[in-house]
Amino acid sequence: MKILHISDTHMCHNQLMIPDGIDTVIHSGDSTNYQDPYKNEPEMHSFLLWFQRLKIPNRIMIAGNHDTSLERGLIKKDYIESLGITYLFNETVEVEGLKIFGSPYTPTFGTGWAFNKSRAKINRVWDSIPEDTGIVVTHGPPRGILDTTYRRDNVTELCGDSSLLKRMLAIQPKLVCFGHIHNTRDIRNAGTTQVAGINTIFSNGSCCTDGKFGVLTSHGNVISLE
């Protein structure tokens, strides 16, 4: 399976260069910008219609913290799936023999964002991921993996979730797809990496760079799985 993993397109989806020969495209959330769900709704419709038109057999997506129209239910799962798009919300789908689990949740930060859970409770979501899952799709990263950014006081910090990392190390899926933490200044999070001792590929598919919204700085990651 040849996978294109994208995330955090933030209404720049029309700028994406889509390679040929892709079997499955996975979007890890934040296709939109507006926090207000009623302003967010037309943005989400624009993205969905673009996603529908991609000439790729399998189109899979989750929501992110910006995608408030989905959390509020202004756009329903049934509508998304009527467009030929698989929308995952704490659930699993099987594609070409691989089980793919998707969840939009990220640890709580700020106020008014979608699909936030406290770090004390979010582990319940990850504990529900089946042991035989081949691909895990989340919006946020596991802690310590392509998740470094600057705080407001200009100090770097790791933003990922430690309970997600613990679960990934336990079940060791073939691929973990996420975004949420963009490139910023001299920090590069977009791309793929592996952790010593396991075969899992970790992919941060974020396509935008902090401070440079409006222009894509990445066109996602292409990963081939047997």
Q: Assess contact for 81 and 102: CB atoms under 8 A.
A: no
pLDDT at 226: 79
CATH at 162: 3.60.21.10
Residue 152 has what pLDDT?
81
Q: How confident is the model at residue 153 (pLDDT cuts 50, 70, 90)?
A: confident
Average per-residue pLDDT in the chain? 96
Model confidence at 33, pLDDT cuts 50, 70, 90, reads: very high
Q: What is the pLDDT of residues 86-123, one digit of tens each?
A: 999 999 999 999 999 999 999 998 889 999 999 999 99
Counting the structural domains of the chain, the total is 1
pLDDT-derived band at 23, boundaries 50, 70, 90? very high
Convert the pLDDT of each residue in 191-222 to its tens digit.
Answer: 999 999 999 999 999 999 988 888 899 999 99
The alpha carbons of the chain give a radius of gyration, in whole angstroms, of 16
DSSP for 16-28 reads --PPTT-SEEEE-
Q: How much of the chain, in percent, has pLDDT values that exceed 90? A: 92
pLDDT for residue 212: 83
pLDDT at 2: 97
CA atoms within 13 A on the CB side of 40: 25
* Nearby residues of 155 by Cβ (< 8 Å), 6 or more positions away: none
Whole-number pLDDT of residue 187: 92
For residue 78, pLDDT over 90 is answered with yes
Q: Domain of residue 70: give its range.
A: 2-224
Place of tokens 């793919």: 100
pTM above 0.85, yes or no: yes
